[in-house]
Structure formats: structure tokens, C-alpha cells
Structure 1
Amino acid sequence: MLKTKYHGEIEINEEQILHFESGIPGFLEEKQFVILPLKEDSPFLILQSVATSELAFVVTSPFIFFKDYEFNLDDSTADKLKLEKPEDVQVMVILTLQDKFEDSTANLQAPIVVNEKTNLAKQVILNDPAYKTKHKLN
């Protein structure tokens, strides 16, 4: 059983766990997360820590809100994630939700890249001045 921030206690299986070898910035000791739906038919997901029930991030695919979003993954990161084909990649961005939803922002400077075949994941810091930590959702 996994205690979660938004879903109470739920059953998960090992295949659902994402492995962040180096943790994520600000939470380096947090190495295992699961992705849970926020609610049915929603583009928003919850990235829930397996170890810490209170630690969960609202995430989404950046391509839903930012059609032109793109970046190149360096070879070192691709190797660490054991990526072989572009189809194996899932990209998510962490959201900062506001009381007025239209004021909510996405962190495009630090996307989360997941190898869906191996469940290896990493939050990548981009050095692209076009992307900031707080882009308003369109």
C-alpha cells in the first residue's frame, strides 16, 4: 500500500515505479515516484513520491499547452536513461497551480524525461534562455 497526498492509500505494483537515480533537484533523496491521474479525462497527472506521502507534484505534458516546446537531450542523459528510440520518451513538466487557474505556470526549464520501457527518469535542467521556470499555461 502507498500513502499518497491526493489519492489516500492505493495499491501500486513495482512496474509503475519510476526510478530517479539522482533524485530530483531540491529532493535528492527522493528516488522513486509513481504517476497517478489527477482525475479521469484530465491532462494533469500527479508525480507522487513512493517514500514521502506528502511529496507530490502536479505535472502535465508540455506539448498540450506549448505546441512549439522542444529541446535536445544530451547524449550523457540519454545514456543514463538507456534511451534507444524517441518513441520510448515521455516528457512532463511540473506545474505551479494558482487559485485562479489561468495564473498557473509550468516549469519549462526543467522537464522530467522518462524512459517508458525502463522506467528510468530524470529532471533535466535546460540551458535555453527561451525557457523559464514559470511559463503561464496557454
Structure 2
Amino acid sequence: MITLKSERFGEIQIEEKEIIHFPLGIPGVPFDRFIIRDLIEPVKWLIAIDDTDIAMLIISPFKYFPEYSFELNDEIVTVLNAKSEEELEIYVSLLKHEDGVAANLKSPFVINKNKKIGVQILLEDDRYSFKELIKK
């Protein structure tokens, strides 16, 4: 058991098997080890374990954007070491929007939930934006 101390989250107890490694990193973040913690369904926290002040709100995009889809290139599939789509979880970060809350559909997080390997990718798909308003 590992104990993390944070002003925002207090004391967090984690197990080594919960740690998600991002071998390619996350742009703008100097750490590559994270955990996911529930906030209020469907919102979760993606928290850097090496500096718990670095945390992002994330959601699975499919509840609000049911048509959301993209293909992973061979390099990302290799990094994730996934044998099937069922091993993968997709999340997008949440941002403030002048009309409420937005999702960054352009840069999803893809996580192999079995092997605890994650990547953040940049989609070249013009259907998606960095700030897509979530409609209630």
C-alpha cells in the first residue's frame, strides 16, 4: 500500500496495481504515473501520483457523445499492448466553457485497463474539437 498526501485530496491510499503508466507522457505534464479516482458519476479524477496537485477531471465521452469514435494507429496499439478493444477505456478531459462544461474530444486518453498502460493521443479528425460543449 502506498500513501499519497495532497492538499486537494487529503491522504490517498493506493495499491501498486492501480498505477497507470503513460510511457509516452502527457503533453505539458512532467510525470508519467497516474491513478483514476471517482468523483461524482460520471466524472473521475486523473491524478499524477508524483505530484497530486496535478489532476484533471475526466469522463468517458460516450454518454454525452454516443457517436464518438476513432481509429488507433499501429504505434499506439503497440504501446498499449492491447489484444482487443474490450481491454481499452477511453476518457476525455473536462474544461470550463462559457456556457457550462466542455470536453476535449480532440485529445482523448486511451487506457489498457488490464495492463495499466495509457496514452493521450491527438486526433486529426475535424469532427472533434478541443472544447466541445456538453449538453445536459
* TM-score grouping bracket, smaller chain normalisation: over 0.9
RMSD of Structure 2 on Structure 1 (CA): 1.4
TM-score (norm 2): 0.92
> Paired residues, what number?
133
Distance 1:71 1:65, change over 3 A: same
CA contact (8 A) 1:4 1:48 kept: no
Distance 1:5 1:106, change over 3 A: farther
CA contact (8 A) 1:5 1:55 kept: no
1:3 and 1:56 map into 2 onto residues whose CA distance is 13
Partner residue, 2:58: 59
Distance 1:4 1:94, change over 3 A: farther
Compute the displacement of 1:3 (Å).
2.4
Counting strand residues as a fraction of each chain, which structure ranks higher? 2
Partner residue, 1:30: 31
Contiguous gaps of at least 5 residues in structure 2: none
Partner residue, 2:94: 95
2:75 and 2:56 map into 1 onto residues whose CA distance is 26
Contiguous gaps of at least 5 residues in structure 1: none
1:111 and 1:92 map into 2 onto residues whose CA distance is 6
TM-score (norm 1): 0.91
Compute the displacement of 1:103 (Å).
1.3
2:68 and 2:76 map into 1 onto residues whose CA distance is 19
Compute the displacement of 1:47 (Å).
0.2
1:85 and 1:111 map into 2 onto residues whose CA distance is 18
The ranges of structure 1 where at least 4 consecutive aligned residues each deviate by more than 2 angstroms after the TM superposition are 3-7
